[in-house]
Amino acid sequence: MKTLHVTAAIIIEEGKVFATQRGYGEFKDGWEFPGGKIEDGETPEEALRREIMEELDTKVMVGELFDTVEYDYPKFHLSMQCYLCQVKEGDLRLKEHENAKWLDREHLFDVDWLPADIGIISHLEKKLS
């Protein structure tokens, strides 16, 4: 099975985490943490900065590795490195996603998370408490 290596941003501000809703592709309408594929020659941190700029027109400061998710979708295996990030410059403007929300601990399950992303919600609940 093919493995996709991706990176995701866990952006937390004032006790809330930023979640985005996919606007395209096989997983359209599912909720996720923003990010994307790690290209050849990129570190996960470099990929994350590039992806957030491309998707949200925002510069982020990539912090510590929060969690790594390994998940088997029917057609591929996903290896997702999730980093704590802070907005450095920009307004998190949606360029590819159809919606976004800031979710506090009590509302983390108010959206329909993609299967791989839901894997870190319990870890995130502890971080937000």
Binding residues for 8-oxo-dGTP: 22, 32-35
Which residues are part of a known binding site for Mg(2+)? Answer: 35, 55
In a 3-state reduction of DSSP, which class is residue 122?
A: helix
**Annotation: binding site:** 22, 32-35, 55
Which among 114, 56, 119, 42 is positioned nearest to 85, based on CA atoms?
Answer: 56
Residues sharing a CB contact under 8 Å with residue 36, sequence separation 6 or more, in sequence order = 6, 7, 47, 51, 54, 55
The answer to whether 69 touches 77, Cβ cutoff 8 Å, is no
Q: State the Rg of the chain over Cα.
A: 14
